[in-house]
Amino acid sequence: MVEIWYAIVVVFLTIYVVLDGYDFGAGALHLWVARTDAERRQVLGAIGPFWDGNEVWLLAGAGLLFVGFPRVLASGASGFYFAIFLVLWCLILRGISIEFRSHVADGVWRQSWDFFFGVASALLPVFLGAALGNLLRGLPLNREGWFDLALFTDFSAREPVGILDWYTVLVGVFALAVLVAHGAAFLCWKTDGLVQDRSRRVGRRVYVAVAALWPVLTIATVKVDPTFFGGLASRPLAWLLGAAGAAGLVTALRGLSRGKDLPAFLGSCAFVAGLSTATAVCVFPMMLRATDPALSLTARNAGGDPAGLKTALVWFAIGFPLAVLYSVVVHRLHRGKVAAAASEAEGY
């Protein structure tokens, strides 16, 4: 049962990264690919129907952790208390920036909210990537399963560890690059004109950088967690998912180079999903890796009550298809290219 719930949590968090990831990438890019007010409204119009629904997948993932692995959620929420607040403030700032920018027809007002939107969108991948880096590197868990972290210590990735060190910053930068490229692929698919042209150029360049950084990050991960490669080598599913991610990266680059917008975006989705799920398979059953491996919280020692998990699985089987259906319907209703609204009363 714990294997099933581990897979469910991974699937939900992967869906969140794929969907909200293009929101973050588009937001981080929009100050560069959109130069005029109309172009920025075009970018906001592209993500407007989706961004708030995409964020719900994160809430659902936290809810699934509460049901399936309550000790992991309790320990992680306590230890990452400061980091979680930074993420929440950035999510809030993104939302109000989207909603408030056109409330006043003033250039300074709109440029200010555009700046906040871009900064918050760029910081979120860095924060979430650094959090993933902490999970892969290891946390100072005690025998009761609790931990606390300074913002940084000596930047060495050795004990005493902090939230930020050379490895977690590297993961954060890589996450930012991946989601910027993902957002560029999305904007190529959903926009036209100058915004599309600029997004295509940025997407190609950033994906080349991602392709170069990926093996560097893999080597760094093996350095901080020597068991990581053992999981990769002994698990065919990890190889399959990693290969799917690599194929997605190639497809995204080819699509961006040849002006095939939908294949480029789908390839980008495959890359993000393949990378996320392959990592999860490699570290299973680890959920909160401790710097002392004997104290780690795993799917097997931190799972919920088996009877409760069986009951929750029934409700999950009902709710999950409805959530997927909602997402599919929304994307279907808002298919096609997006242009800035003819009247400011009609859009962002």
Q: Could you read off the pLDDT of 37-57 as tens digits, one per residue?
A: 999 999 999 998 999 899 999
- Cα separation, 338 vs 340, whole angstroms: 7
The residue to which tokens 């049962």 are assigned: 1
Tell whether the torsion through CA atoms of 162, 166, 172 and 175 is positive or negative. Answer: negative
| For residue 333, pLDDT beyond 60 | yes
pLDDT of residue 347: 59
Give CB contacts under 8 A, 24+ apart, made by 103-109: 105/344, 107/37
- Cα separation, 9 vs 15, whole angstroms: 10
Amino acid at 294: A
pLDDT of residue 118: 95
Q: Is 75 exposed, middle or buried (0-12, 13-18, 19+ CB in 10 A)?
A: buried
By DSSP bridging, strand 150-152 and strand 162-164 are parallel
Alpha-helical runs (H) found in the chain: 2-33, 37-47, 51-68, 70-79, 81-100, 107-137, 166-190, 193-224, 227-234, 236-258, 261-283, 306-333
Q: What is the DSSP letter of 139?
A: B
- Reference 153, options 168, 175, 142, 141; nearest CA is 168
Amino acid at 342: A
The predicted model gives 6-18 an average pLDDT of 95
pLDDT band at 264 (very low <50, low <70, confident <90, very high): very high
For the record, the structure tokens of 246 come out as 């690599």
- Name the phi and psi angles at 284, rounded to 5: -55, 140
> What stretch of H or E contains 163?
strand 162-164
Contacts of 248 by beta carbon, 8 Å cutoff, 6+ apart = 266, 267, 268, 269, 270, 271, 272, 273, 274
- Cα separation, 58 vs 35, whole angstroms: 31
Query: How far does CA 58 lie from the centroid of its chain?
Result: 9
**82-134 pLDDT tens trace:** 889 999 999 999 999 998 988 888 889 999 999 999 999 999 999 999 999 99
The predicted model gives 66-86 an average pLDDT of 91
The predicted model gives 290-309 an average pLDDT of 88
**211-239 pLDDT tens trace:** 999 999 999 999 998 888 776 667 889 89
| For residue 340, pLDDT beyond 70 | no
Number of neighbouring beta carbons within 10 Å of residue 333 = 8
Which of 60-69, 84-93, 116-125, 151-160 has the weakest average pLDDT? 151-160
Q: What is the DSSP letter of 144?
A: T
pLDDT of residue 335: 87
| For residue 269, pLDDT beyond 90 | yes
Helix (H, G, I), strand (E, B) or coil at 158: coil
Which of 3-12, 249-258, 320-329, 331-340 has the weakest average pLDDT? 331-340
Domain locations in the chain as residue ranges: 2-346
The predicted model gives 58-81 an average pLDDT of 91
| For residue 75, pLDDT beyond 80 | yes
pLDDT band at 141 (very low <50, low <70, confident <90, very high): very high
